[in-house]
Amino acid sequence: MSILEYNGGTVVAMSGDGCVAIASDTRLGQQYVSSASCLELFCHSLLRRSQSSMSRLCLLIGCLFLFFLAAQQTIAMDVPRMFKMHDRLFLGLTGLYTDTQTLYNLFKFKLSMYKMREGREISPETFANLVSSTLYEKRFGPYFTEPIVVGLDKDNKPYLCAMDLLGALACDPNFVTLGTSTEMLLGACETFYRENMNEAQLFEVISQTLMMATDRDCLSGWGGVVHIISKEGITTKTIKTRQD
């Protein structure tokens, strides 16, 4: 299990004609130690001859306890993974949720400093480079999260960019995805995406894409939220998905 999958979660973004949408699920989960890890832990303990028989017995009982508890647990069903930076810019964060909260507060502080120094709002491309450089600064002890930056530039042109936990940029003019449902999302996006969609069409496509992917992923789901950014403002809608 990757630490990026520990809490689950999925984020997807799509561009339209003068608008851009970002959507995510709302589930916060927790995964226990896998049964294979329990077996490996016990086998390693048997090789340590310095342990007493009582210590080995206690460790065996603990491993068996973890073995039968190896499963996923849903902690919350209304967790935000998309954060409004300003009226034309959103940040989506997947991965370890504690690092997600840390990064959001850090970027909120950096944007306040940028606005105070420059006297204007930051552009999506500049913000993506800021996120990338911030992640790369911690490359030897990285934040376990993968961001998506979406927004509209001054010409109302959509901007979408995803990156890994080290800040490597992967920009695409059509759609980007991150999270535990990435494999399912990519196939659904390639199937349903069309160029120059209006706001209503964009909402329908990104909603169906998110629902199809999360229905096939046990680490994501329990509803979703869609934000659509256009020159008129931000439209937020919620969608219902499977809750099992």
pLDDT in the model for residue 49:
47
User: Inter-axis angle of helices 182-192 and 199-214, to 10 degrees?
Assistant: 140
- Is there a contact between 156 and 18 (Cβ–Cβ < 8 Å)? yes
Is 244 inside a domain boundary? no
Residues 113 and 50 in one domain: no
Asked if residue 100 is part of any domain, the answer here is yes
Is 70 a residue whose pLDDT tops 70? no
Residues 209 and 163 in one domain: yes
What is the tens place of the pLDDT at every residue in 205-239?
Answer: 999 898 888 877 777 778 889 999 999 899 999 88
Domain shared by 65 and 185, yes or no: no
User: Averaged over 64-71, what is the pLDDT?
Assistant: 54
Please determine, for residue 62, whether its predicted confidence score (pLDDT) is greater than 80: no
Q: Is the pLDDT of residue 24 over 70?
A: yes
Based on the domain organization, do 171 and 234 belong to the same domain?
A: yes
pLDDT for the residue numbered 43: 52
Q: Mind spelling out the 3-state secondary structure of the chain?
A: CCHHHCCCCEEEEEECCCEEEEEEECCEEEECCCHHHHHHHHHHHHCCCCCCHHHHHHHHHHHHHHHHHCCEEEEECCCCCEEEEECCEEEEEEECHHHHHHHHHHHHHHHHHHHHHHCCCCCHHHHHHHHHHHHHHCCCCCCCEEEEEEEECCCCCEEEEEECCCCCEEECCCEEEEECCHHHHHHHHHHHCCCCCCHHHHHHHHHHHHHHHHCCCCCCCCCEEEEEEECCEEEEEEECCCCC
- Whether residues 162 and 99 share a domain: the answer is yes
Residues 41 and 130 both lie in one domain: no
The pLDDT confidence band at residue 8, using thresholds 50, 70 and 90, is confident
CA angle 210, 135, 88 (to 5 degrees): 55
* Whether residues 103 and 64 fall in one domain: no
Residue 103 and residue 40 in one domain: no
Domain that holds residue 58: 35-70
Domains: count for the chain: 2
* Residues 6 or more apart whose Cβ sits within 8 Å of residue 58: none
**Contact at 8 Å (CB) between 96 and 145?**
yes
pLDDT in tens, 178-200: 988 888 888 888 889 999 899 99
Better-predicted residue by pLDDT, 180 or 77: 180
| Structure tokens that stand for 175 in this block | 């759609």
Average of per-residue pLDDT values in the chain:
83
Is 98 part of any domain?
yes
Residues 6+ apart with CB under 8 A from 71: 31, 32
Question: Of the given ranges (14-28, 37-51, 126-140), which has the lowest mean pLDDT?
Answer: 37-51
Determine the pLDDT at residue 67. Answer: 52
Does one domain contain both 12 and 92?
yes
pLDDT at residue 100 greater than cutoff 70: yes
40, 106: one domain: no
Mean pLDDT of 45-61: 58
Are 138 and 56 in the same domain?
A: no
Please tell me which of 54-58, 196-200, 238-242 the model is most confident about, judged by mean pLDDT: 196-200
Q: Which two tokens stand for residue 86?
A: 């300003």
**b/e for 197-222, b at 16 or more Cβ within 10 A?**
bebeebbebbbebbbbbbeebebbbb
- 57 and 174, same domain (yes or no): no
Q: What CATH number has the domain bearing residue 227?
A: 3.60.20.10
CA-to-CA separations, 112 to 93, 96, 147, 158, 182, in angstroms, rounded: 19, 25, 19, 23, 32
Residue 84, pLDDT > 80, answer yes
- In DSSP terms, 24 is beta-bridged to 11, 225
Task: Give domain status of residue 210, yes or no.
Answer: yes
Tell me the torsion sign for CA atoms 201, 88, 126, 107: negative
Comparing 7 with 22, which gets the higher pLDDT? 22
User: Given a cut of 50, is residue 168 above it in pLDDT?
Assistant: yes
